[in-house]
Structures are given as structure tokens and as C-alpha cells.
Amino acid sequence: DQIIKLFSAGEERGVAEVLEATVKPAAAAPEVQTAESENAGVEPQPDLEAKPEAPQTAQALAPEVAKLSDPPLPANTGFSIGKSLGLGDSETAVADPSACIKKPAWKTVICTQPVEWPTGISAVFNVLSRLYRGAKTIVRYDSGVATQFHTLFRTESLDAVVEHFRSRYGPPIETPERWTALFMQPSRLNRTALWRKVDAGGGGHTVLEIREIDDLRWSMTPDTKNGVIWLHREGAHPIFRYLSASDLLLARILSKGK
């Protein structure tokens, strides 16, 4: 915000200086003499057919000033969850298919998978929630390819999680102000950091979004004890548009509580 204010102030001074230097009272037009006026000493009559010049305005005289734009999107090097998981992974790599839920109508499979994190940050992902227990992630596969990741972390560790991804991908490209409505409580600021990259082939954007409160659960109330890392392609709906708590409970039973 401070950078934009300084830039805007500079724009205003620059435009004002240009206007002061360039917008001056127009000099009087030289008197036009004709042969008849020279002989008779009479000023010539104006040319009624001549078109008057359009007056110059400050907008027309001011130089075109480049506008601040969003930072350029870096080339796609791929965001990852943990050490190795990312969009485009194959469903065939899932170690425990019993922890998966099939949605045949959408050709979709949703799996709960373990995640290996670097030692310094791994503890904050060891969560106890209604969705799963431990350091895991929920992955959506469409036609056998990973298209989304929903990964929990302890809410109080938001700053450490953001710093971890900042060290990998640079500062977040956006930090939107988001408020989350809570049940029987006042709405609460849901601090958010967001990274965006161009997909390979330039067909869209991949988004890595970190929220302090997991409010992406649709049929469930927001989880104020756990935040979420949501890795997806821009424009996608959250996984829980197609998934319910009962689906996850059934998957846990089938996988013997893993």
C-alpha cells in the first residue's frame, strides 16, 4: 500500500510539472494582411469557412503514465504439498485405495493420503480433526489425475506455514481480506495468503491458497482449530462440494482407522 501511495504521489507531481511547463496562454495569432488591407489600412475580415482549433485539455497534454499492474506470474515450476505431491499426480500411486471414495457420476475419486513434510515444519501438520488424523491430505482425482489438495494444519501455526511456502515460492502474490461467518459467534477475520502460477501450456492458473480457518467444508461448520492449504486450479470448486463428513467416516472405517 505504501509503495502504491508513493507511486501515485509521484504521478500527481509529474503530471502537474508537465502541465505547468506545457500549458501556457496561447500567443496571439499574427495579423493577416491582404493586398486590399495594406492599401486601405483596414483589418481583414475573418475567414468564415475556417474551422476553429479544438482547445487543448489537461488530459490531452498530460503524458501517458504507466499504471501499476499485478506482479508478473512466474513460469510454472509446480506447487507441491509436502516433499513430492502435486497436481497431475496419478491415482495409481495411491498406496491405500481403501481410503478412497469413488464418485462415478463425475469420474472422480477422492483419497486421504499421508504427506511427508520437511522435519522443521512437519509437526504443525499433525492434526486431530473430523476429516482425518495425522499429517495427511485429501486429494481429488479426476479421470485418474490429481486436480486438488485439501491439507490441514494447526491454526496457531499459520505464520510458520506461510513462511515455509514463502521460502519456496517467494512472497504471496495476494493477501486478501476474508471474513468467515461462524456458528453462534461473530464473524472472524480469516487471514489468507495466495500464490498463483501459469499452468504449463498457458491454459490457466494454478493457485496455492493458505487460510487460517478451514471454511471450505460446505456442509460442515468452519474449523477454527485447523487452517487449510488449498491447492487447485483457478475457478475450481472446493472438494467438499462433492464430499461429506459421512463419506470420510466410511472411508476411515473401510481403511481400518488409518
Q: Which pLDDT tens digits describe the chain residue by residue (258 residues)?
A: 443 443 344 444 443 443 344 444 444 444 544 444 444 454 545 454 544 444 443 333 333 322 333 344 444 358 999 999 999 999 988 888 888 999 888 889 999 999 999 999 999 999 999 899 999 999 999 999 999 999 999 999 999 999 999 999 999 999 999 999 998 999 999 999 999 998 876 678 999 999 999 999 877 899 999 999 999 999 999 999 888 878 888 877 777 655
Grid coordinates belonging to 240 = 467438499
Distance from C-alpha of 124 to C-alpha of 139, rounded to nearest angstrom? 19
Residue 81 C-alpha cell reads as 504439498
Give the contacts of 4 (CB within 8 A, at least 6 positions apart): 68
The closest of 227, 237, 215, 230 to 79, measured between CA atoms, is 230
**What does the alpha-carbon distance between residue 112 and residue 153 come to, in Å, rounded to a whole number?**
15
Residue 203 is predicted with a pLDDT of 75
The torsion region of residue 184 among left (phi > 0), alpha (psi -120 to 50) and beta comes to left
**CA–CA separation, 121 vs 110, rounded Å?**
25
pTM reported for the whole predicted model: 0.68
Distance in angstroms (rounded) separating the CA atoms of residues 111 and 239: 11
Nearest to 228 by CA among 149, 121, 171: 149
Contacts of 122 (CB under 8 A, 6+ apart): 116, 135
Number of H helices, E strands in the chain: 5, 11
Whether the Cβ atoms of residue 239 and residue 228 lie closer than 8 Å to each other? no
